[in-house]
Structure 1
Amino acid sequence: MMMKLGILVAVAVFLETVSAASLGVVYTEGGMVEGEQIRLGLFRSMDVFRGIPFADIPQRFQKPKRHPGWDGVLNTTEFRDRCLQVNRIMTHTRGSEDCLYLNIWVPHGSSVSTGMAVMVWIYGGGFLVGGSMSANFFHDYVYDGQEMADRGNVIVVTLGYRVGTLGFLSTGDSDLPGNFGLWDQQAAIAWVHRNIRSFGGDPDNITIFGESAGGASVGFQILTPHNKGMIRRAISQSGVVTCPWAFTKNPRRYAEEIALKVNCPTNESMAECLKMTDPVNLTMAGNISMVGSPDNPIMFNLLLSPVVDGDFLPDEPHKLFHNAAEIDYIAGVNDMDGFFFTYLDVPSINLAVVDTSVEDLKRLLASYVKDIDPKSLDNAYSTYTSNWGPNPNQETIKKTVVDVGTDFIFLVPTQAALYLHAANATTGRTYSYLFSQPNVSPFRQSWMGADHTDDVQYVFGKPFTTLLGCWPSHCNVSSYMINYWTNFAKTGDPTKGENVPTNWPEFTINHHYLEINSDMDEGYVRQQLRMSHVKFWASILPNLPLISE
């Protein structure tokens, strides 16, 4: 009996040992770091490093510099502050200027992992707000990388970068060139490339991915010549460089508005004054109105964004796709990505008891085309109402308003980016998707599809961590997205690897795209996404390629 007990104890000790693979103390270019080990089950564990500095505390309106390093072992078990920014309701600031840190999740089997694919996440927030971990619900952060790293068997990295005035204000010249937030992202990517081997990652297999402004940032990072050879693959979710809000051609005008708010001159001394202004005042000066109308869409208030600076972006984005010729690229949108924005402009679309007028649709279309080609309004209206019939009901009108916002703000620019990537690609592959899992909010209309950001929870496996239990449909679509995303990161082919419900062909094969939701099968491989609407906008919007069937 005692012998059997001894054997059982020995087996238990052995199993505990083999299931506890850990990196322990890791040597980086700045010094030694030690994170937290998490047990995930038999033969499965994870090391989590929170708050590793990838650059020094940034100097205001300057590029980030390498961190000077530290003595001893740096404890990296706590997330660090997000970068200084306005709060969600634009009344106060939060965060710190000391914010250039990243977080790493490294999964292990029975032995310590080596040579793993690496996925680097860039958050969204309109270049105005956001953080490496996003919102926190009962210590469950939206951008927690644990589920994706564990289920997809990849290393996940999240990073911080400057946003708002401190990250993207530009005078349009060398005095204050802008793009400081993009430089922060680039510094983090470069740090990962130099150091990730010590964490078990493959520096030659880095995928960057992001959503909204993070998706657009992904695009800028693969277009800049400063990342040459560091990025293997990229995924842009609901945001690309060709989006109308993602790039500013005349930053000087807005810089002067900011200067006047903080009592700086608008002459040759403006940049120097801005550099000496209190950072909280500067940040508050960059807040925006969240009240829109069909005549003044909220999207046009997003004026702090990347610019041509002759350095990070040597030319306009649509002219730089040759720099991504060897990078595999996925880009896509949610089927009602524009709902959030059009709801702010036309609130009646989300009120079942309030009608949305046809006039509101015309006014919104007029706002979108007025600075491009006002004469195209009639053509725009006929394009969106061609299948209405003589008496459209309210659901049809409301959905059409959302379609207009989705197409203009997200879908058409994303199709343009896909065409540009495919046209310039040499070895890089191009993939397109449409995410259509219906929004589950009790406050949304029954006809609602997937709104802006609805995809993010599934990519990060949030259905598997909810206290309410995992609904089968939510768990299914989350598994599909994690597998497609991590298969792509590991092989360049989203179909090759862990099980997925159907093959995902390349975009270049008859303009294929994959519609992603919990019911998907081979019938969800489709072609020529909203082609008539894409062709209409491409025919009048500057900097978009002419698109043919």
Structure 2
Amino acid sequence: MVQGKSHSVGLFRYMDVFKGIPFAAPPGRLEKPVPHPGWDGVLKATDYRMRCMQLNLLATDVVGSEDCLYLNIWVPQGNTVSTNLPVMVFIYGGGFLLGGGQGANFLDNYLYDGQEIADRGNVIVVTFNYRVGSLGFLSSGNAEAPGNYGLWDQHTAIAWVHRNIRNFGGNPGNITIFGESAGAASVNFQILSPKNKGLIRRAISQSGVALCPWAVNRNPRQYAEEIARKVGCPTDSGMVACLRRTDPKAVTLAGNVKFNPIVHNLALSPVIDGDFLPAEPDTLFGNAADIDYIAGVNDMDGHIFATLDIPSINNALVSTPEVKKLSIALSESRGTDAGIATYEEYTANWGSKPSDTDIKKTVVDMETDYIFLVPTQATLYLHSDHAKSGRTYSYLFNEPSRIPVFPLWMGADHADDLQYVFGKPFTTPLGYFPRHRDVAKYMISYWTNFAQTGDPNKGESSVPVTWPEFASNGHQYLVINNKMNRDSVKQMLRTRLVYYWTNVFASFPGERMPPLRHLTVKIIIELHFPMRPRTFSVPSVLRRHKSESEIAFH
């Protein structure tokens, strides 16, 4: 038995809120979660519990607790007690290093408060904690400490919801998982894993997929040994036992690994463990064949990374000369030649005297494409190709950032979409303009319709424009902003750059990339036999390395 709180949210509308329900026992260190033993009497579920142990924002100290596997539930109620409602389970982002089920807090206004989604979409919303950083994703690279503890926590929370949500008025056969950034990649991992068979009906990935270059740790033992050395543990067969004995705060602090560019700092991430992830993610899409899937990105998702790599991006008075250096750094897994090729690809249209604004936007485009957009497009192709009953939808969110110090050319930065999905323009109206409430209304309508029916256009909420499936003519996608109309439906998102990264860049020797050669055929067919006439410039690298006849053949 659990006891939450209920409050009015409008005329004859109420919200039942349960906070801090344990979905597993306090976890063993570097071990999978185990079931909670239960409790006697009535558990008061009225307050958020501490987030899982993690670095603070400055990476100078540790916050949170090892006893952290708790979830929160929002249940909308009307004149009658709700039954059989769709369920939306949110997975937070934070680079697999940070985050909590309640999100950031300002004056008791939590970012991941599920009330607006639940009330406006008539769905149950669930958020939860999962382990992050060293305690969530450190892996010895073998069976002793295989890793992926954070993913197992997520799976355990989803399974708990599937078992118990009917008691809260939810439909266990209609669970949608959604997440942002590392949470979005986690969503993708969850639908690809065979461990979730039958638990998940639909999924939404906002700015992150399993194919992102930061989503899989290819050298887990290397990072585990680095952390072990920092805390004074051996790096031989006694390493894991020592790490389990060591102060968890010290192990967490030791997970602050420094690399440049910043995207390579996301080293503590999921691994191919042969268990939860039995093989490379791109080979597992058959497991998601019957799951409806939305995936998309923000048009300047890479800006936050570009700002950390090249701070002059946001200063109109300072030029940005380091583009080639950044290109080579991003391409380090494939060598200097790949970095130079990437630089040439992105600067092909600069002309002899590019403006400083053009240079800065190129940096943002390069990081956005590499870190988020191209892996997401590849994922959409793979999901669509393997789909049986599952539907596939693609979007691009480009509502301009509200950060006043950002340049005038700025679009939607990483995580800018979260405030709208969680309805902050309604909860804190003085902080937003009416156009922002329009964006929030549109996103909540599409997201909750999708949770109800598997079609973002059909459900209890009206939408501004029909969102076509990705697999329909021309691989269409929806542009989401405050000015949505029929022109918001477009096709073939940055196809030339998708081709470059998945074929030209991937042809340089280096770390394994998903075998997406079949995308070449799709892309070239779309480009040369399009729905309506268009022009296509052959990637500069291809022009340099191939004869005209070879280009024509390809």
Aligned partner letter, 1:83: C
Where 1:371 maps in the other structure, the secondary structure is helix
Which residue number in structure 1 is paired with residue 19 of structure 2? 50
Q: Give CA-to-partner distance per residue, 1:323-368, whole Å, 9 cap, x none.
A: 10100000000000000001111111111110111xx111111112
Q: Give CA-to-partner distance per residue, 1:247-306, whole Å, 9 cap, x none.
A: 0122000000000001000111111111111111111111244xx7xxx30111111000
Within 2, Cα distance between the matches of 1:445 and 1:133?
A: 31
Paired residues for 1:307-386 under 5 Å: 307-357=271-321, 360-386=322-348
Aligned partner letter, 2:282: H
Aligned residues: percent identity?
Answer: 62
| Mapped pair 1:241 → 2:210 | yes
Aligned partner letter, 1:361: V
Contact residue 178 and residue 307 of structure 1 kept, 8 A: yes
Q: 1:534 aligns with which of 491, 495, 498?
A: 498
Aligned partner letter, 1:126: G
Aligned partner letter, 1:506: E
Q: 2:466 aligns with which of 503, 516, 520?
A: 503
The Cα shift of 1:378 comes to 4.1
Q: 2:98 aligns with which of 125, 129, 132?
A: 129
Within 1, Cα distance between the matches of 2:431 and 2:265?
A: 39
Within 2, Cα distance between the matches of 1:315 and 1:135?
A: 34
Q: 1:545 aligns with which of 494, 516, 529?
A: 516
Paired residues for 1:111-510 under 5 Å: 111-289=80-258, 296-357=260-321, 360-466=322-428, 468=430, 470-497=432-459, 498-509=461-472, 510=474
Within 2, Cα distance between the matches of 1:511 and 1:79?
A: 42
The Cα shift of 1:470 comes to 4.2
Aligned partner letter, 2:264: F
The Cα shift of 1:315 comes to 0.7
Contact residue 148 and residue 460 of structure 1 kept, 8 A: yes
Within 2, Cα distance between the matches of 1:534 and 1:47?
A: 45
Unaligned runs of 5+ in 2: 507-512, 524-554
| Mapped pair 1:69 → 2:33 | no
Q: Give CA-to-partner distance per residue, 1:499-529, whole Å, 9 cap, x none.
A: 1110111111121110100011110100110
Structure 1 outlier segments of 4+, above 3 Å? 376-379
Contact residue 132 and residue 143 of structure 1 kept, 8 A: yes
Contact residue 506 and residue 512 of structure 1 kept, 8 A: yes
Where 2:334 maps in the other structure, the secondary structure is coil
Q: Give CA-to-partner distance per residue, 1:370-427, whole Å, 9 cap, x none.
A: 3225333443223212322222111111000000000000000111111111111111
| Mapped pair 1:39 → 2:8 | yes
Which residue number in structure 2 is paired with residue 13 of structure 1? none
Within 1, Cα distance between the matches of 2:263 and 2:339?
A: 19
Contact residue 216 and residue 240 of structure 1 kept, 8 A: yes
Aligned partner letter, 1:365: S
Aligned partner letter, 1:221: Q
Q: Give CA-to-partner distance per residue, 1:76-119, whole Å, 9 cap, x none.
A: 01010000111000011100011000000000111111010000
Contact residue 242 and residue 544 of structure 1 kept, 8 A: no
Which residue number in structure 2 is paired with residue 522 of structure 1? 486
Q: 1:78 aligns with which of 47, 50, 55?
A: 47
Where 2:477 maps in the other structure, the secondary structure is strand
Aligned partner letter, 1:462: K
Contact residue 480 and residue 501 of structure 1 kept, 8 A: yes
Contact residue 50 and residue 104 of structure 1 kept, 8 A: yes
Q: Give CA-to-partner distance per residue, 1:13-45, whole Å, 9 cap, x none.
A: xxxxxxxxxxxxxxxxxxx00100011122111
Contact residue 330 and residue 339 of structure 2 kept, 8 A: no
Aligned partner letter, 1:256: E
Contact residue 413 and residue 544 of structure 1 kept, 8 A: no
Within 1, Cα distance between the matches of 2:159 and 2:323?
A: 46
The Cα shift of 1:469 comes to 5.3
Aligned partner letter, 1:445: P
Q: Give CA-to-partner distance per residue, 1:429-465, whole Å, 9 cap, x none.
A: 1111000000011110111000000000000000111
Aligned partner letter, 2:516: P
Within 2, Cα distance between the matches of 1:451 and 1:288?
A: 24
Change (3 A) 1:62 1:442: same
Within 2, Cα distance between the matches of 1:370 and 1:91?
A: 28
Contact residue 416 and residue 544 of structure 1 kept, 8 A: no
Change (3 A) 1:299 1:378: closer
Which residue number in structure 1 is paired with residue 76 of structure 2? 107
Aligned partner letter, 1:347: P
Which residue number in structure 1 is paired with residue 61 of structure 2? 92
Change (3 A) 1:534 1:107: same
The Cα shift of 1:153 comes to 0.7
Where 1:426 maps in the other structure, the secondary structure is coil
Change (3 A) 1:167 1:532: same
Which residue number in structure 1 is paired with residue 541 of structure 2? none
Which residue number in structure 1 is paired with residue 542 of structure 2? none
Aligned partner letter, 1:176: A
The Cα shift of 1:129 comes to 0.6
Contact residue 29 and residue 244 of structure 2 kept, 8 A: yes
Aligned partner letter, 1:275: R
Within 1, Cα distance between the matches of 2:202 and 2:374?
A: 22
Where 1:468 maps in the other structure, the secondary structure is helix
Taking structure 1 as the reference length, what is the TM-score of the superposition? 0.92
